[in-house]
Amino acid sequence: METNDFSIDEIFHRALNRTSIFKNRNVLRSDYIPDKLYFRDEQIKIVAETISPVLHGARPSNMFLYGKTGTGKTAVAKYVFSKLSKIASSKSINVRFAYVNTRMAGTEYRVLYEIARDFNISVPHTGLAISEIFDRIFKTLNGEHFSGLIILDEIDFLVKSHGDDLLYELTRANEKLSGVFISLIGISNDLTFKEYLDPRVLSSLSEEELVFPPYTAEELKVILADRIRLGFQPNVFTEAALNLAAALAAAEHGDARRAVDLVRVAGEIAERKNLNVVDEEQVREALLKIDQDRLVDALKSLPLHSKLVVLSVASLKDNVSTGAVYNNYVQLCKRLNIPELTTRRVSGLLNELSMLGIVSAETVSLGRQGRSKRPKLLIPLTTVKTVFSNDPVLFDLVKYLEDYVV
């Protein structure tokens, strides 16, 4: 028996017959690279000058690009690579380009698989040793005589999750290449992650460094106005809504990605409500939705041990201490039959979770007993349960969490 007020067919029929307030939704996606990157001329110039030796067959210096989320690091790197690729192709310069978001890739194997794929090298999805993939990449570069430029985005995730072995091998790659080279651009929003790197890796990767400043509210207004012009029908997005979106994103460390997401989601909310104009109300609704979605995405993308630390904090009600969190964490590791990390490493994970806004790690004075951290969950427990209940590794632990809250 049909219980809905309207059918799915009717939803689609209405969508087909409704004039969309969007002109081109794709330009409002975070992975869209516009033809012009506003307020990043200096950064574009530095990156372009750094990698330009490839046009003369010379190896460019490796680079690190730093900056908060949404400051244009990835967009600038991809933009420069795109321009260089066109020039190299027109001049028959044999160089290939690879881009990998290491957080999205998830594993060392997948990072190398995506590099190989972008270099047009055949590698199976699974089944090879890491060393074998490296051998295939090196053999192909030498055999087909082409060099490779690689962007490793969110490189800090790779290092914190898997160590720096893969980076060490990549920095040594040129010892195994003859007449060709591999050059790297690492992108991170964490200036402190270099502490995790072996000094040999750090010296090889940090040949050039570039820090991206946050956008100001006025700069964000210019960026958003351009995206709105390209993405929406005329006179849809109000000036007040534009100003609010820019101000909210500027308050969030000048995050252009968040600003563009606010604009797109506000438009989607308006369209679902059959509104012809996007105003401040839809921007505020979009902010709430994005914040909730961001928490869910952040929890889903955490490494396994970070998820276990979140569960350990969530399982404690009162008198929470790092010692109690660590004890719970060890018990969870035992239930999964995996080796636990050291107390120092778990303390580091708590600091990382604090930076993500998932857990607070406030330090309190205990008088003569010194000082101690008091971890506290900053997101709703129901969100943790919902996300981890759908995790293939952790779903059994959620029930354990419910039975074990102390």
SS3 404: helix
If you average pLDDT over every residue of the chain, what do you get?
A: 90
Question: Token pair 């590791």 is at which residue?
Answer: 333
pLDDT of residue 301: 86
Q: Which of 219-233, 307-321, 376-390 has the lowest mean pLDDT?
A: 307-321
Question: Token pair 């209405």 is at which residue?
Answer: 14
Average pLDDT of the segment spanning 15-30? 89
In 324-382, which ranges are E strands?
359-365, 371-377
Residue 397 structure tokens: 């632990």
pLDDT of residue 374: 81
pLDDT at 335 over 80: yes
pLDDT at 2 over 70: no
Residue 15 structure tokens: 């969508």
Closest CA to 30 of 70, 80, 79: 70
pLDDT of residue 298: 86
Question: Do the strands 147-153 and 371-377 form a parallel or antiparallel pair, or are they unpaired?
Answer: unpaired
Domains of the chain with bracketed CATH? 41-212 (3.40.50.300), 215-299 (1.10.8.60), 302-404 (1.10.10.10)
Beta-carbon contacts of 112 under 8 Å, excluding residues fewer than 6 positions away, are 123, 130, 133, 134, 137, 166
Task: Report the predicted TM-score, pTM, of the whole model to 2 decimal places.
Answer: 0.79
Average pLDDT of the segment spanning 62-73? 95
pLDDT-derived band at 19 (thresholds 50, 70, 90) equals confident
pLDDT of residue 174: 94
Cα gap 241→248, rounded to integer Å: 11
pLDDT at 28 over 60: yes
Beta-carbon contacts of 142 under 8 Å, excluding residues fewer than 6 positions away, are 177, 178, 179, 180
* Cα angle 354, 359, 363; round to 5: 70
Residue 187 identity = I
Cα gap 38→27, rounded to integer Å: 15
pLDDT-derived band at 4 (thresholds 50, 70, 90) equals low
pLDDT at 25 over 80: yes
Average pLDDT of the segment spanning 134-156? 96
pLDDT-derived band at 360 (thresholds 50, 70, 90) equals confident
Cα gap 219→159, rounded to integer Å: 33
pLDDT of residue 79: 97
- Is 190:156 a contact under the CB 8 Å cutoff? yes
pLDDT of residue 406: 43
pLDDT at 318 over 70: no
Closest CA to 226 of 37, 68, 79: 37
Find the helix or strand (DSSP H, E) in which 41 lies: helix 41-51
- Is 201:169 a contact under the CB 8 Å cutoff? no
pLDDT of residue 5: 55
Closest CA to 106 of 263, 302, 337, 390: 302
pLDDT at 130 over 70: yes
Question: Token pair 């190299």 is at which residue?
Answer: 88
Beta-carbon contacts of 182 under 8 Å, excluding residues fewer than 6 positions away, are 141, 147, 148, 149, 150, 170, 173, 174
pLDDT at 15 over 80: no
pLDDT of residue 206: 76
Question: Token pair 């101690």 is at which residue?
Answer: 372
Residue 127 identity = G
pLDDT-derived band at 198 (thresholds 50, 70, 90) equals confident
From the number of C-beta atoms within 10 Å of its C-beta (0-12, 13-18, 19+), residue 158 rates as buried
Average pLDDT of the segment spanning 147-173? 92
Average pLDDT of the segment spanning 312-320? 79
Average pLDDT of the segment spanning 63-84? 96
Cα gap 394→402, rounded to integer Å: 13
- Is 359:353 a contact under the CB 8 Å cutoff? yes
pLDDT of residue 368: 56
Average pLDDT of the segment spanning 43-59? 97
SS3 273: coil
Residue-wise pLDDT tens digits, 171-191? 999 999 999 999 999 999 987
pLDDT-derived band at 65 (thresholds 50, 70, 90) equals very high
- Is 354:361 a contact under the CB 8 Å cutoff? yes
Q: Which of 12-16, 41-45, 61-65, 305-309 has the lowest mean pLDDT?
A: 12-16
Cα gap 203→173, rounded to integer Å: 15
pLDDT of residue 405: 47
pLDDT of residue 319: 61
Q: Which of 30-44, 180-194, 249-263, 312-326 has the lowest mean pLDDT?
A: 312-326
